[in-house]
Amino acid sequence: MESPSRGGVFSEGTDSRVEQFAESISFDRRLYHQDIRGSKAHAQMLAGQGLISDEECEAICQALEEIRGELDSGSMPMRFELEDIHMHIEQALIDRLGDVGRKLHTARSRNDQVSTDFRMWVREALEQTDQLLAEVQRAFLGRCEKDFDVVLPAYTHLQRAQPVLAPHYWLAYIEKFQRDRERIADCIQRVNQSSLGVAAVAGTSLPIDRHRTAGELGFAGITRNSLDTSSDRDFVLESAFVLSVIATHLSGWAEEWILWSTVEFGFIQCPHAFCTGSSIMPQKVNPDVLELTRGKAARVMGNLQTLMILTKGLPLAYNRDLQEDKPPLFDSFDTIQICLQLAAPLVAGAELQRERIAAQIEEGYLDATTLMEHMIAAGMPQRRAHHLVGAIVGEAMQRKVTLAELPLDVLQKHAPELDESVRDVLGTRNAIEAFTSEGSTAPARVRSQIQYWTERLSASE
């Protein structure tokens, strides 16, 4: 049986070791839906342009659907000598239709065929990832009203800084994942350009209609330069970068909740369905899903590095190196999607340890900055207020009391300008109520943001 990829110029068959070395069917078989869809659109365009007959087009499209059925069921044998999924489908078509099957590759190279299939696959994978990100956003949003009364310490340098409402934390992650979704939408614009019809490298002398196939395949337009298109993998790199940023956000969230779930913090309890035990220590409840999410982020970032190095030294037009672009990107999408699938129910099912949080919330002088701003609002220069509050905190530390527990005369010893109104900003709950700025943890601002995201995420369902 002839291989459609080897012309008559070859004087001997391919070494079997080369066949195994060069194959990509072991990983690119997952492109078969896109390849069949692209091939049908190409056949219909060829018929529309008079390059094949309507009867030949109908026979090709019918046979392609039969081949899809075999691939769906797993009954088509995979053979290394046919290299990739594109050659498997073409050979199966030739086996059924003979010369009619051989006509499908008119005005098409595997270079533009592979690029088109991969663009379609990436486009779908980006859209699926966007939907999963929205589910994680909704999981965080679903916690906001339930946890509205909980005050948490916000940290800088992993040291207690200021108090924030728990939903302010949840909204912060909604914002991060929204930026990820915006990057996906922006990336899709460049992915969503059809490569089909640029042929091998220079285009074709045959009268094809690239816009027709682009429209049939749901592309927004066509690539403009055949030479560039043959080697362009910017859409792969950009997708890998977007996934790496998502991985960064997931890893940061996982790290925070891993810390929060420790005895030392005791802020949150993860659902046991997302934890594992120890083979020797019966008391252990380990946050394995969070740890693996943090660990798998490294793979996603490593895949971006692999792809950057893969493409950094390639000349224009297609080089076989580009076959290696698929495993890293497939892995990154698979990894991010399973992490997101687990993140949404984990977020929804976790429980804040309210009593433990409340027992510790006054530790760390989280209201110090609000006390300083109270002085500033009364007319004191910021640097002087900062210095005086530092001295007040030092005295509270010596006395082992909170700022709210210091008598007024002690406060006035450091800052005579203070009066009883200072009580309105001392203590974490009062400090929370003192915030006013947009984007802050002020209860009214947080409620406004909850309403904003409720409407926005409902509209995108």
| Cβ–Cβ under 8 Å, residues 152 and 167 | no
Contact assessment for residue 269 and residue 202, using Cβ atoms and an 8 Å cutoff? no
Please, what sign has the CA dihedral across residues 227, 233, 238, 239? positive
Per annotation, catalytic residue among 16, 53, 278, 448: 278
User: Which residue in 157, 205, 279, 421 is the catalytic one?
Assistant: 157
Q: Using the Cα atoms of residue 301, residue 141, residue 436 and residue 414 in order, give the sign of their dihedral.
A: negative
318: phi then psi, degrees, rounded to nearest 5: -75, 140
| Span between the terminal Cα atoms of the chain, in Å | 51
Q: How far is CA 417 from the centre of its chain?
A: 52
Which run of H or of E encompasses 48? helix 32-48
DSSP character at residue 276:
B
Cβ density class 210-240: b for 16+ within 10 Å, e for less: bebbbbbbebeebbeebeebbbbbebbbbbb
d(CA 134, CA 340): 10
Distance CA 237, CA 329 (A): 9
Burial group, residue 6, by CB count within 10 angstroms (0-12, 13-18, 19+): exposed
Q: Which amino acid is at 192?
A: N
| Residue 187 to residue 427: CA distance in whole angstroms | 46
Q: Which of 37, 36, 3 is nearest to 19 (CA)?
A: 3
The reply to whether 195 belongs to the active site is: no
Q: In terms of Cα–Cα distance, which of 216, 270, 187 is closest to 42?
A: 216
Encoded tokens for 82: 């046919």
**β-bridge pairing 151-156 and 268-269:** unpaired
Q: SS3 of 413, please?
A: helix
Answer yes or no: 26 catalytic: no
Positions annotated as catalytic residues are 157, 278
